[in-house]
Copies of this chain bind each other. A is one copy, B any other.
Amino acid sequence: VPKVKANISMSLDGYVAGPNQSDENPLGEGGEALHEWGVKLKSFKEGHGHDASDGETGVNDDIMREMFEGSGACIMGRKMFGPARAGGDWGDGSWRGWWGDDPPFHAPVHVLTHHERDPLEMEGGTTFHFETEGIEPALERAKASVGDRDVLICGGASAIQQYLKAGLVDQLELHVVPLALGGGERLLDDIGTARFEPMRAIETPDVTHLRYGVAA
């Protein structure tokens, strides 16, 4: 049975995006700093089809690579695919995601949305599927395609919150970046009470990786 893993970078004060998110600044003020540790990694650059010869290797790279290689599909919220200006109902359909022609997923990506749209096949094995029937059908479709790999819920906050509250997450991995953003979109808000099982804590100068099992 595939495992469902939520995986996201978070500030020490609990934010996954900074204040004042906008179309022009989708990560909010200061939010890019949450991803500095990741974007310089060899595995990240390879995944994005960039020149990876100067990519950083080591513990963080191993963890990023493990996540990519273990995942057979990704689920994301609408805002991770496109901004409001892409058209709530997809407008003329010209918006093809934040992720370029060859997105880093190389796998099916299920986008949670209220608006139907035909699947969008990109280069490199990524196909965006637009899921309008709710989080459970989206998860079932993702699971159906992954074989013995994992389904990754890769954000944003709202998507992860919904899956956590529905009891559909097996594992939560927080990449805790050692800074305070002072505001923005908080990950573990409005999730009610829950118990977690500590599985792994790995500290590096850039980021601390905390892995938890989620009690059913």
Bound state CA distance, A178 and B182, in angstroms?
23
- Selected interface stretch from A135-143, A151-159, A185-193: A185-193
A29 smallest CB distance to B (angstroms): 9
Q: How many residues of A contact B (CB 8 A)?
A: 32
Contact check, B201 vs A179: say whether CB atoms are below 8 A apart: no
- Selected interface stretch from A80-88, A104-112, A118-126, A205-213: A205-213
Contact check, A198 vs B208: say whether CB atoms are below 8 A apart: yes
Q: Point out the residues of chain B lying under 8 angstroms from A14, CB to CB.
A: 13-14, 186, 188
Q: Contact string, A1-33, partner B, CB cutoff 8 A, digits 1/0?
A: 000000000001110000000000000001000
Contact check, A196 vs B182: say whether CB atoms are below 8 A apart: no
Contact check, B200 vs A181: say whether CB atoms are below 8 A apart: no
A50 smallest CB distance to B (angstroms): 27
Contact check, B13 vs A189: say whether CB atoms are below 8 A apart: yes
Contact check, B208 vs A180: say whether CB atoms are below 8 A apart: no
Contact check, B198 vs A188: say whether CB atoms are below 8 A apart: no
Bound state CA distance, A181 and B195, in angstroms?
9
Bound state CA distance, A147 and B30, in angstroms?
40
